[in-house]
Every structure is written in C-alpha cells, then in structure tokens.
Structure 1
Amino acid sequence: MTYQVIIDDQYDVTKLVETITLKDSLEQIAYQANIRLAVSASSGLPSISPGMPVRISGVPFGEKSKVPLVHPAVIWEVESANSGTKRLSLTVYDRMIYLEKSEDEFLLPKDQTATQRLKTYAKEWKIPCATLPDTKTKLGKAVYRAQTIFSMMFADLKETAKSGGDMYHPRMTPGGLQLYKVGSNTKVHELDRLIDLTQMRTLEGAVTKVKVMAASESGSGKEAPSKVLAIEQDGVAELGTLQKLVEDDQVKTAAAAKKLAKSRLAGIQETFTVTAPDINTIRAGDAVLLKGLKLIVMSVSRDLSGAGTMTLELATAEMVRRRVYLE
C-alpha cells in the first residue's frame, strides 16, 4: 500500500486497509473517501466512531515523498460487518462537508465579490482560509434564506461565471479553504496510457434557441405575457428547435440579454470518460490533455488498490461553463 491512513492523529491503520476509493466532482464540495479495514483482535485498534479526524497521504505522481491528499478530513459514517473477519467500512469527507450539510441565512449587499463572500462564510463557520484569488466580478444583492452554505457559495460562483468572470471551485487544503480557478493547474498531465476511452455525443442538453425574458413583476394583479428581451438561435436547421427560456433579474439591458442568450446556446454535447493508471494529484476542475485536446475534469473517481486506477469524466471548458455554472 503506497498510501497511509492515520485516524485521530495517532492511529496508523495503513496495514489494515483492504481498499480505498476517492471521489471528487465539480458538483460536490467535499472530497469523499471510502475505506475498508480488516480488523483483528490483535490489531489494537480502538473504537472508531463518526467525528474522528482522519488523514490520507500518498506520494504525488512523479515525486518521492508522501503528502496529505485528503486532509483535513472527518469520519462521517462507520459500518461494521463480521463474517469470520471483522471489517469496518468508513465513509470519509474532507471538512468542506460541514458547509454542504449546514444551513444558515445571509443578507449580502451588492458589489461584493465571491471571494469576499467566501471569507464571510468561512469566518462564520470558523474555517481557516488559504490565500484566496480575487474573483473580481461584482455581484448583485443576495438574500439567502435557510439553505446550505455550499448552495450560497455555489450561487456566488455561478453568478460570477454568468457575468463573464472565470469559473472557480472551492477546495479544502491543509493550508485552509481554497478557491481554485478551473483549469489553472500549472502541470497539465497528458493522458496517454489509457485503459479505456468512451466518447459520448448527444443532443441531450443541447440548446438551439434561447429567449431571455424580463423578470416577472409580482403584485401587479395582471396576467400578461412576459416581456422578451432577446432571442438568439444557432443550429436550428441542422438539429431542430431545442428552446430554453431564461429569466435573470440581473439582466437590465438588451445588450446584456443578447450576451446571455448567446452564452446559453449549445450544440451537440460531447463528453469523454477515461480510465487510466492513477495520477493522484488530478482533481475535479483540473485541465488535462487527451489526444492533443485540452479538457476539464468534471469528476474523478479513483481506486487506490494495487497500482491504482482513475476514471475521469472530461469536457471542454465551454461545456463545463454551460453545464455546471450557467444552469
């Protein structure tokens, strides 16, 4: 086992590990690990319970020294089975899970950036921040009622992307909460030792015509058609009419509506699913090269048994923006 698992900052259970799998996605906030331990009476392992800290370390691809890969993390669920040999199945998340499972409400003024708001959430939940990039885009006033902290963070990041800013994804690191710019990794790995490659092309999710509607006016007491601010279309003759209606109260001008409509147009949807030898530093949001094409990792799942394998779901940056940040 080239990976090390430490529980409660003192119990090295590496020798008890049978399997480790990891899951990461742009649509989830916490890095997830599933660990199965084979426990004997002589192992000396104390009672393992949810809430205990855990750290998974490994040697990054191309390097020689172990570093924390999932840390700081917490045991979320423990399942015990005994059919001759006692086995513990642990579900582990990095500590971003607390932002995904906790609800609050915030009233936030306009002209703040997603970076400023992230600092507000983190301070409220006593989560240390790493050095955060400036997302720059000024956001509208937000009234967040009884929802998870992650949903608020994601709404801020989506509004940033919708307004023409860069795409960002939050990550937990040993140095604190980080805001990662999608595709900004300096080391872009080329996937050339493939075990399996599947290419999917579909009209599911395609949009060939977009109408941007004015935000509904409440309290008027009148039933009337919504005002159309802009209509854009592309690919109708080839693919047929696949129309989407968009209503965004941040859109105030015809020019902004036209820009928004064009951004929602999408032709044939193309994704790649790749299984390859594991490169354990690749995370959701990273850029990789596949046959010379630069793609973004939308999700990654890895099995660390033996030499280790990873399965990546890949798409172009434009498709990631449409599927993850513009919906």
Structure 2
Amino acid sequence: MSYHVIVGGSADLTPMVESISMRDALDQIAYQAHIRLAVSNARQLPDLTPGTAIRVSGVPYGKEESVPLLNPGVIWDAESTNSGTKRISLTVYDRMIYLEKSEDEYLFLKDQTATQRLSKYAKDWKIKLADETDTEIKLGKAVYRAQTIFSMLFADLKETAKSGGAMYHPRMTGRGLELFKLGSNAQVHELDRLIDVAQMRTLEGAVTKVKVLAAADSSNGKEVKSKILTVDEKGTDKLGTLQKVVSDDQVKTAKAAKKLAASYLTGIQETFTVTAPDVNTIRAGDAVTLSGMKLLVTSAGHDLGNPGTMTLELATEAAVKRRYYLD
C-alpha cells in the first residue's frame, strides 16, 4: 500500500495493515487515527503498549514522495481479537492529546498573546514548538482554575478572534506544535470529483440582532441594568428577529462592541457535507472551494486507501467564527 505505519521509530507494521482511518476537527485538538491490523505471525509484532510512539505516512494527492500524515503520534488504545486470524485495533493520537487529557491551573497577566501562552503550555508539557506564529492580539488577564490545557488554549484563541484577530487552530506537525491560521493553506483544493454532497440550510443558530452589554457593575451593592454598548441588526425584515445578547468583560468601547456585534450577524446557517476521493493532506481549518465558493473545513474524515475516500464538513468563514470562536 502507499501508506506506512512505523512503531517505535523503526518497526514497520505496514504489511499487517488492513485499514487506516483518520479524523480531524475544529472542536478537537489532537489528530486521531484508527488502525486495524491482521497478524499472521504474532512473533513478528513489535511492542504495541499504549504510550508507544507511532507515525503514519503516505503519498499526498498528486505527489510521488511519501510524507508524514500523523507524526509524532502515540498509541492510546490497543484492542485484540482472535477468531482464526488475530486482529489488533489501535487508536492513535498526535501528542497534543496530552493537552486535551491533562488539567492544571494558570494565572496570566494581561497583555500576553495566545502565542506566548501556548509557549508556556508547551514548555510545561515538554511539547516541541514549531516556528511561532504571532497572534498579535494582546489578551486580558486570565485566571484558569482546574481545567484541561486545551480548554485554556482554546479560550485564548477565542478571545483573540473576538478581539479582532484571526482565527487559529493548534496543529502538531513534524516540526512541532504550531498555531495554524484558518484558511491559510498554500494549496486550496477544488472539490470537483464528488461522490456525494449534502447541503443544510437552517435558521437554527442564526442571529439577526445583537445587543452588546458592558460588564455589570454591582460595586455599590445595587442591582442595575447593564449598560448597552451597541445594538446592531441585519436581516430582521426577511428572517425575523433572532436576538443575541452578548456581555464580554474584554469589550470596553462602543467601537469594539460594534465590531463584535457584526461577527454574530450570520443569518441563515449553511453547511455542506461532501464525500469525495481522498486528498489525504486536507485538515480541519483548511480552505477548499466547492462550486466556486471558498469554504473552511470544520471536520475531515479520511479512509485511507488507493484512492480512498474522505468526508468533509464545510462552512463559510463567518459561520465558523460564529460557531467555534464566539460562543
């Protein structure tokens, strides 16, 4: 096969591989793979204990040389069955799984960026960083009580987007952990060889009117109504009034409130689910084009093979920001 599975740096499982599937999504931090093995000679098996290093490599669509697709990875689960032929199912994650499964507490002073905070998380968990992407936006003070490192990191990235910065998603690559700016992939694939495509349009989750409130001040002991920083609307005449009330401690001015309100006004929610021959390098957060529309991948499922298939969930940039970075 044109895919290779290497365990512990040198043991080649490729001849035993029956299937490989991989999943990436904006609401998860670690790239995930499921690998199914058929074992004819158990004595040839290397150590598959959970915690063992593993990598998956393959030839990208339209290329000739193999590249790492999931590396560095770690075996998380190993399950075996034997009904004549021994089969082993491995669940594998890239090493960001440790940020998703670990908890801690952090106190961050204001004016740090998400990039600087990522450096702290990575240093404490001994995860190698790639070249640092400067997220630029200075964040407010943060007091993170016991919670997962991923939830803290994603809170930093959400605040960055809310404050007018770009949308970023963490990615583990062979170079190390990096912050990927959504839609910044150098090669934007056109999805024109479709097996199936489904379109969903709904008012569920739509917002046509936004009211942004200042943080409530109860220092005098009296309960008073929150100060309204701005009210904005779009599409209420056609779609009706679907109002969102936003209260954000980081929003201090009417100008900042106006910008934040505009981000919520997404109207009809439109998503696409596409099944197509596999392009194995497409990841969540990548931009693709479908029928002339530029869309972002919110989740990517790959069933690796020759050619293999992929299932992508797609949405507009505005919808992605509303769904993942504002709520």
Aligned to 2:288: 288
Cα distance between partner residues in 2 of 1:18 and 1:122: 35
In the aligned structure 2, how far is the partner of 1:39 from the partner of 1:280? Answer: 26
Alignment RMSD: 1.4
TM-superposed deviation, 1:254: 2.1
Q: Which residue of 2 aligns with 1:242?
A: 242
Following superposition, the deviation at residue 324 of structure 1 comes to: 1.1
1:95 maps to 2:95? yes
Conserved 8 A contact 2:263-2:321: no
Q: Could you tell me how far 1:116 is from its partner in structure 2? A: 1.1
8 Å contact 2:183–2:285 — kept in the other structure?
yes
Gaps of 5+ in 2: none
Alignment-derived partner of residue 71 in structure 1 = 71
d(CA) in 1 for partners of 2:275 and 2:188? 17
| Counterpart in the other structure of 1:172 | 172
Does residue 1:299 correspond to 2:288, yes or no?
no
**C-alpha distance in 1, partners of 2:235/2:76?**
47
Residue aligning to 1:60: 60
Worse-superposed segment, 44-53 or 64-73: 44-53
Q: Which runs of structure 2 are paired with 1:64-143 in the superposition (5 Å)?
A: 64-143=64-143
TM-score of the aligned structures, taking structure 2 as reference length? 0.96
1:2 aligns with 2:33: no
TM-score between the two structures when normalised by the length of structure 1: 0.96
1:308-319 alignment, distance < 5 Å: 308-319=308-319
For 2:76, give the aligned amino acid. Answer: W
Larger mean CA deviation between 180-189 and 79-88 belongs to: 79-88
Q: Percent identity, please.
A: 68
SS in 1 for 2:204: coil
In the alignment, the residues of structure 1 paired with residue 252 and residue 143 of structure 2 have an alpha-carbon distance, to the nearest angstrom, of 19
1:169, distance to aligned residue in structure 2 (A): 0.9
Return the alpha-carbon distance in structure 1 between the equivalents of residues 53 and 83 of structure 2: 27
Matched, 1:160 2:160: yes
Unaligned runs of 5+ in 1: none
Residue equivalent to 1:214: 214
1:15 equivalent to 2:11? Answer no
Deviations 1:263-284 (A, max 9, x none): 2112000111111111111111
Report deviation, 1:218.
Answer: 5.1
Q: Which has the larger displacement, 247-256 or 43-52? A: 43-52
Equivalent in the alignment of 1:273: 273
SS of alignment partner, residue 155 of structure 1: helix
2:216–2:225 CA contact under 8 A, matched in 1: no
Post-superposition shift, 1:225? 3.0
Is the CA contact (8 Å cut-off) linking 2:218 and 2:224 kept in structure 1?
no
Q: Equivalent residue of 2:63, what SS?
A: coil
Q: Which residue of 2 aligns with 1:188?
A: 188
Deviation at 1:39, TM superposition (A): 1.4
* Residue 233 of structure 1: aligned partner: 233
Using the alignment, how far apart are the partners of 2:90 and 2:139 within structure 1? 40
SS where residue 250 of structure 2 aligns? coil
Shift in Å at residue 219 of structure 1? 5.9
Query: Residue 224 of structure 1 aligns with which residue?
Result: 224
AA aligned opposite 1:301: G
**What is the SS of the residue equivalent to 1:80?**
strand
Q: CA deviation at 1:139?
A: 0.9
SS at match of 2:19: strand
More off after superposition, 43-52 vs 15-24? 43-52
Give the match for residue 203 of structure 1. Answer: 203
